Structure 1
Amino acid sequence: ITLDEDTAHPQLILEAGGKTVRRGDTRQPMADNPERYDTYHCVLAQEGFVSGRCFWEVDVGTDERGVWAMGVAKDTMKRKGWINAPQDGILALFHCGGKYWALTNPDHTALAPGQLPRNIRVYLDFGEQKVAFLNADNKELLYIFPLAPLSGERIRPWFRV
């Protein structure tokens, strides 16, 4: 997948032709278009999906102190102000301080992977109406979300760093 610079928060720096993202120290001068996230350090992929099956893998690194979230979001989700997952159309995993959660409602679901993942595979399946997250290093299933909350929408890979 390739990240969509038009959606990237101004403090995010896209590199390697839109294949990697990191948070910079300051906001970059960017147009405040309707697609751009303005509060949370998020970015969407350019690609969107409405049917079929696909997967992608993300190198989340080994820094246990890192804070990130990743998953899928409906194309029409709001980009300005406070964002709640999954109420605002996001199905994602969250990592902070070496701990993992599935961003479920009303409370987040704590996860306890057998091995801390360095690479996470996101598997999107419209036929089975699910999105699954796996530790790509050992194929351990981390969590499965039903796609029902995003039903009928174009879905895009979503990242927060």
Structure 2
Amino acid sequence: MKKLAAKQVEMTKKTNEVKEKIKKKYEDMKRVLDEDLRITLTQLDTEFEATEKLVEEKIEDCYHLTQELDQELMNAGTQNSEIDQRISESLKKSDPDLIQTDDFRNQQLLSLTINLLLFIRSQIPISKKLFQTYAADVVLDAGTAHPKLIISPNGDSATYTENWQEVPDVPSRFDNTLNVISQQALSEGRHYWEVEVSGKTYWEIGLTYPSIPRKGKEKEEDCWLGRGKESWCVEYFNGDYTAWHDGANHELPPLSGRQFHRIGVYCSFPGGLVCFLGADTMTPIYCFCTGTFTDSLYQALCPGHDNEGTNWKPLRICDASRSAPVL
């Protein structure tokens, strides 16, 4: 117990040290950006001050010239051609259209700023780049799919159909809940995968031990993802997200009304962790801290029923090693 307590203290210390170092790097980046902003705005202000001074000089010149012309007119009694010429020349010299700011340079600065923003956005969130290194290949096992699910030939999508398909009634097949699991199990290390959920109003995505019940003759809810001790999932239904494990539901905040295009699932065997994220922006949805996994894990999907005609699109496995295109 003493060794475990010491290990806990050590892990806390190391985690806090890493957090502090990362925090300082972000503060350094902010200082660099703030300084670059100061320099850029100073350059713009300097050019504006120079242009403003030129305008003020022109106004002052026009004022003095007006006084001179008024005096000459008073002395001459009538306006003559020489005065007309001087007025014409003065109007030309003081034409506001002759005073220009360097719009081309300003647009260059703006363009460079936009490029910098796009570059920064392409670099974050940092967690996205980290999780991409854990990308797992996921192939759905058609032999486990409920008879009302159509699994694509290459095992990368699951689609609900109203027709009960003629498929072998094998022990591995779910028969009362619209589930399908992966062919390969995860047993060690860290793994990350993503599922395309665009255009759907109902789905469940998660991880499960191989011992999850497949047949629902007695306790059919035990077959549902997250309803037993064997599985973890996040459910989306008509705009609401709910996390499930061991029959306990965790209602989640509305996430600012977000309906993500991709859902990411991260699993860490060393950390005993199952995390669900909105992969579009790596927004955390829910994390289960499970301690130690007692068996291997399979990726699991439930594309849901038709939901009154709003939920016909498939759930599709994505290449998690690559970022989703900007929509």
Residue 100 (structure 1) aligned with residue 241 (structure 2):
yes
CA contact 1:43–1:158 (8 Å) conserved in 2: yes
Identical amino acids, percent of aligned pairs:
27
Letter in 1 for 2:230: G
Residue 67 (structure 1) aligned with residue 210 (structure 2):
no
Partner in structure 2 of residue 50 of structure 1:
187
Mapping for residues 110-121 of structure 1, pairs under 5 Å? 110-112=251-253, 113-114=255-256, 115-121=258-264
Partner in structure 1 of residue 294 of structure 2:
152
Find the aligned partners of 1:17 and 1:147 in 2 and give their Cα distance.
Answer: 32
- Give the TM-score normalised by the residue count of structure 1: 0.91
Letter in 2 for 1:83: E
Find the aligned partners of 2:273 and 2:227 in 1 and give their Cα distance.
Answer: 14
From 195, 214, 225, the counterpart of 1:79: 214
Match of 1:18, SS state, is: coil
- Structure 1 pair 118/26, CA: closer, same or farther in 2 (3 Å)? same
Partner in structure 1 of residue 144 of structure 2:
7
Unaligned runs of 5+ in 2: 1-137, 304-327
Unaligned runs of 5+ in 1: none
Deviations 1:58-100 (A, max 9, x none): 001133xx22101100012110001332424110001111111
Compute the RMSD of aligned alpha carbons. Answer: 1.6
Find the aligned partners of 1:106 and 1:34 in 2 and give their Cα distance.
Answer: 23
Aligned length: 158
Residue 143 (structure 1) aligned with residue 273 (structure 2):
no
Mapping for residues 12-27 of structure 1, pairs under 5 Å? 12-15=149-152, 17-27=154-164
After TM superposition, the runs of 4+ consecutive aligned structure 1 residues lying more than 6 A away are none
Higher relative contact order (CA 8 A, sep 6+): 1
Letter in 1 for 2:243: A
Find the aligned partners of 1:127 and 1:9 in 2 and give their Cα distance.
Answer: 32
Residue 91 (structure 1) aligned with residue 229 (structure 2):
no
Find the aligned partners of 1:62 and 1:10 in 2 and give their Cα distance.
Answer: 23
- Give the TM-score normalised by the residue count of structure 2: 0.46
Match of 1:6, SS state, is: helix
Q: Which has the higher strand share?
A: 1
Match of 2:228, SS state, is: coil
Q: Which has the higher helix share?
A: 2
CA contact 1:133–1:144 (8 Å) conserved in 2: yes
